[in-house]
Amino acid sequence: MAVIYQKHTADCHYEVRTAGSSIRLYSNSVLHTQYNPNQVISGAIWDLLVLPAFFKASSPRKVLLLGLGGGALVKMIQYFFPKAQIDCVELDPQHIYIAKRFFKISGVTIHQGDAYEFLKKNRKKFDWVIDDVFGHLDGNPLRQTSLNDTLYTRALTYDGLLSINIIDDVEGHSSLKKQFKQGYRLRHPLYENEVCVYSDELLSREAFDVNLQQHKLLDQRYKTCRLQFDLAKLK
């Protein structure tokens, strides 16, 4: 593994590393992003973040991503949904710089600032909102803000989809389950966090499976498929 970029600030140490064809972003030793252009599906937790859109019959048109990191999720969205218009909100200017320079993020609108302050002022509607906002504490990823159902719903179209990368936010998670008509939980067998999906539109597991099978990279019937996840309906 080679370090190709590093920078110290008052409260953070950033590193960009390569490992074979993979590129990785670390902030204070926390791995925020990993992307390999030769393996869009890596077999890791990041894969799950792109899956919620496959519940929908049509591809997402307007997407709001809260938390850019290095931009691996942007790359996956652009790969599977090339016509999607993507807005990203990222607090850390270093992450934005790294995403553009090293992960070659382009074709998206990036807003530098706090994701939840952005939601408070936002007047646009999106058919897919993704919350992947994480900080770090003692080398571990940490959500720094509790989930706020009102902010999310204001940004969604009437049949919009919300997906959130969650670690131990029981109170916020419970509130969101009550706010939306239906939800699912995606889990990776090797990670503690889960990706939860919420919608006021009925979501079909059968349609989800059929949509995944349109892409060989996501079709678990193939032995070459690297995708790993468990899916369960939220109760």
pLDDT tens-place values along the chain, 235 residues long: 899 999 999 889 999 999 999 999 998 888 888 999 999 999 998 899 999 999 998 999 999 999 998 999 999 999 999 999 999 999 999 999 999 999 999 999 999 999 999 999 999 999 999 999 875 444 444 445 556 667 898 999 999 999 998 876 554 566 777 788 889 999 999 988 899 999 999 899 999 999 999 999 999 999 999 999 999 998 7
Q: Determine the pLDDT at residue 26.
A: 93
- At 141, which helix (H) or strand (E)? strand 140-142
Q: What is the CA radius of gyration of the chain?
A: 17
- Asked if 125 and 158 touch (Cβ cutoff 8 Å), the reply is no
Please tell me whether the overall predicted TM-score, pTM, comes out greater than 0.85 for this model.
yes
Tokens encoding 222: 């193939």
- Three-state secondary-structure class, residue 147: coil
Q: How many CB atoms lie within 10 A of CB 231?
A: 15
Antiparallel, parallel or unpaired: β 182-187 and 140-142: unpaired
Domain coordinates in residue numbering, the chain: 40-233
Which is nearest to 190 in space by CA: 42, 45, 39, 31?
A: 45
* Domain topology for 40-233: Rossmann fold (3.40.50)
Q: Determine the pLDDT at residue 211.
A: 97
Tens of pLDDT, residues 6-21: 999 988 999 999 999 9
Tokens encoding 4: 């190709």
